[in-house]
Structure 1
Amino acid sequence: MRSGLVYFCAGLALVSPAVAQPAADDWVARKCAMYQAAWSRALAGAGADTVSAAFIAGNNDFIAGGCVERASICPQSPVELDIANALSIALINAGAASTFLPFACPHPEPGAGGWTGPGL
């Protein structure tokens, strides 16, 4: 058993980052495809007229960029929050980390009276 572990570790040492990189790129592409499919279903289910143009544009821009650019899409209505929650659950259930998701809302300034968003 110990010799198997030694051979395994030695094999890992021979794998260069350039060899390992395509798997990571493939995973990002798969997550993005899953996000795009989930976004399309969620938007169709809610109706484009029930969400803001900024929310739609933010999600479309995230997808168009290959889901690799940092995004800060902040849901501003109960419908947008429901969509963001559904997308988050779908992607996390599919194995994506929560850091993959493009949702973030600004923190209120100290003394500004607290958060006025939809309950994030």
Structure 2
Amino acid sequence: MKFVAALAALVTCAIAAGAPPAVAQERQPQSWPEVKCARYKTAWAEALSRRGTRGLGREFLDRHEAFIASGCTTKADVCPRSEEELALANIMVVAAMNAGTASTFPPFACRK
């Protein structure tokens, strides 16, 4: 549990730092859903780089990547089945909430 809490704190710091400031002429202002997705994508990358993918199934990773590729708009259908997947899902829920999104923003749900 200490590892999960520490990793969640590190991911939260990465989100809070945000992306480097963009030159105003290069980018249009982003909508709030785009900002949330960008923050979430950064947190996901940070969590994977620190934690790795050991214990994460292909379906879990593929469905999560599809969520991010959709601009974080697809229906929640990423089901954490292993202990490692559940730990990462918990980290991402905390990171998303710390980034200013609702706890329902992440794509984790088991429908069956």
Same fold (TM over 0.5): yes
In structure 1, give the amino acid aligned to 2:34: A
Deviations 1:46-65 (A, max 9, x none): 22243111111111100000
How many residues end up aligned between the 2 structures? 84
Q: Tell me what 1:93 maps to.
A: 98
Check conservation: 1:55, 1:73, Cα contact below 8 A: yes
Shift of 1:42: 1.4
Runs of 4+ in 1 over 6 A off after TM superposition: none
Task: Choose from 46, 59, 68 the match for 2:64.
Answer: 59
Task: Indicate the structure whose relative CO is greater, using CA pairs within 8 Å and at least 6 residues apart.
Answer: 2
After TM superposition, the structure 1 = structure 2 runs for residues 6-85 of structure 1, keeping only pairs within 5 Å, are 26-85=31-90
Structure number with the higher helix fraction is 1
Deviation at 1:77, TM superposition (A): 0.9
For the 8 Å contact 2:37–2:71, the answer to whether it is kept is: yes
The alignment yields a C-alpha RMSD, in angstroms, of 1.7
Percent sequence identity over matched residues?
A: 43
TM-score, length basis structure 1: 0.64
Of structures 1 and 2, the larger Rg is shown by 1
Report the residue type matching 2:70 in the other structure: G
